């Protein structure tokens, strides 16, 4: 029997994302990849099918006639996979719900609520899928997702949970950031700088760090926050995920300026998939346990 040739899944995801966005650069931003990386995936798929899928224009890319037909075929395959998943799921425990989220959200928002979730929904069989970028996941790989997004996404039902709000945080009892002669900023590697975006905050707050300031790069956002909680340094707090620690007094604002961006944290699900009752119950529980969106925004200080 000859080996079946299957298009690369990553290339199909890139193809669908570019087709929706009409721009390789926009698709790259949504997928968390470089433009060249997305272009390589498109070229890989075009090599596989043996034909160009897009026409390049001055404003972006558009599907050509062949690409439109191929997009319809890919859509049918994805729908079939979704149906197959539902059929297989029907043979499994209908109480299982797959919840996708980033590592930072899993560590700081989901984990503190697991005990209460176990108590409130004792029938739930939870599968936590941790991945940094929802654009790299197929809609059939999860039932619900918790992610920060800079804008709404096509083909998704998105319920806002909290704003994109940043403020430096530290352990109680330390002097404010602007009074520290040699503050230690807890940061991360460049690929995850959005979790510790000191540059935008410093510019917005009009704060200039003293010459003695240092930066330590941490391996995860949770490590940065835990180091701040232990009084080692100052971390950039995204308030939706660190609000529990602020409420408990384990962390305090290191400066009064809160920078609010255009994005939000969302509870997402694919608009193309039927939502099972178990997923609906978990979605309702998440909404009920979420409090941040209803809080008034803190006073934003434009300078010091």
Q: Do domains 9-76 and 164-261 have the same CATH topology?
A: no
Mean pLDDT, the chain, integer: 84
Span 148-156, mean pLDDT?
A: 85
Contact assessment for residue 71 and residue 115, using Cβ atoms and an 8 Å cutoff: no
Contact assessment for residue 158 and residue 147, using Cβ atoms and an 8 Å cutoff: no
Cα angle 270, 31, 129 (rounded to 5 degrees) comes to: 55
What pLDDT is attached to residue 121?
A: 95
User: What pLDDT band is residue 94 in, cutting at 50, 70 and 90?
Assistant: confident
- Selected from 2.60.40.10, 3.30.460.80, 3.40.190.10, 3.40.50.300, the CATH number assigned to the domain covering 89-163+263-294 reads 3.40.190.10
pLDDT at 39 over 80: yes
**Protein fold of 164-261:** D-Maltodextrin-Binding Protein; domain 2 (3.40.190)
pLDDT at 303 over 50: no
User: What pLDDT band is residue 293 in, cutting at 50, 70 and 90?
Assistant: very low
Span 223-252, mean pLDDT?
A: 95
pLDDT at 83 over 70: no
Contact assessment for residue 189 and residue 217, using Cβ atoms and an 8 Å cutoff: yes
Domain ranges of the chain: 9-76, 89-163+263-294, 164-261
The pLDDT tens digits of the residues spanning 160-191 come to 999 989 999 999 999 999 999 999 999 987 65
pLDDT at 226 over 80: yes
What pLDDT is attached to residue 188?
A: 83
Tokens of 209: 């760090």
**Of 136, 104, 82, nearest in space to 273 by CA:** 82
What pLDDT is attached to residue 28?
A: 81
**Of 196, 205, 206, 199, nearest in space to 234 by CA:** 196
Which alpha helices (H) appear in the chain, and where do they start and end?
9-21, 24-31, 35-49, 65-91, 103-105, 114-120, 198-205, 221-229, 239-247, 277-289
Domain spanning 9-76, CATH architecture: Orthogonal Bundle (1.10)
Helix/strand/coil percentages in the chain, nearest 5: 45, 25, 30
């Amino acid at each position: 029997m000859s080996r079946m040739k299957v298009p690369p899944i990553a290339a199909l995801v890139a193809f669908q994302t570019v087709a929706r966005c009409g721009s390789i650069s926009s698709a790259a931003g949504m997928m968390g990849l470089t433009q060249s990386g997305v272009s390589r995936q498109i070229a890989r798929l075009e090599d596989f099918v043996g034909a160009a899928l897009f026409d390049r224009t001055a404003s972006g890319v558009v599907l050509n006639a062949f690409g439109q037909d191929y997009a319809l075929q890919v859509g049918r395959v994805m729908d079939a996979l979704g149906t197959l998943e539902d059929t297989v799921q029907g043979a499994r425990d209908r109480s299982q719900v797959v919840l996708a989220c980033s590592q930072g959200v899993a560590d700081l928002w989901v984990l503190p609520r697991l005990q209460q979730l176990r108590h409130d929904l004792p029938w739930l069989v939870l599968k936590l899928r941790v991945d940094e970028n929802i654009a790299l996941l197929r809609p059939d790989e999860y039932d619900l997702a918790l992610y920060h997004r800079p804008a709404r996404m096509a083909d998704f039902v998105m319920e806002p949970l909290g704003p994109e709000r940043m403020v430096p945080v530290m352990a109680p009892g330390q002097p404010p950031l602007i009074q520290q002669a040699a503050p230690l900023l807890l940061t991360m590697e460049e690929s995850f700088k959005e979790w510790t975006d000191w540059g935008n905050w410093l510019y917005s707050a009009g704060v200039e760090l003293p010459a003695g300031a240092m930066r330590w790069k941490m391996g995860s956002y949770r490590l940065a926050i835990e180091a701040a909680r232990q009084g080692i340094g100052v971390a950039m707090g995204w308030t939706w995920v660190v609000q529990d620690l602020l409420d408990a007094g384990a962390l305090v604002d290191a400066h009064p300026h809160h920078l609010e961006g255009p994005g939000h944290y969302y509870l997402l699900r694919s608009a193309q998939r039927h939502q099972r009752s178990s997923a609906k119950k978990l979605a309702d529980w998440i909404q009920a346990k979420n409090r941040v969106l209803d809080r008034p925004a803190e006073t934003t200080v434009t300078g010091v």
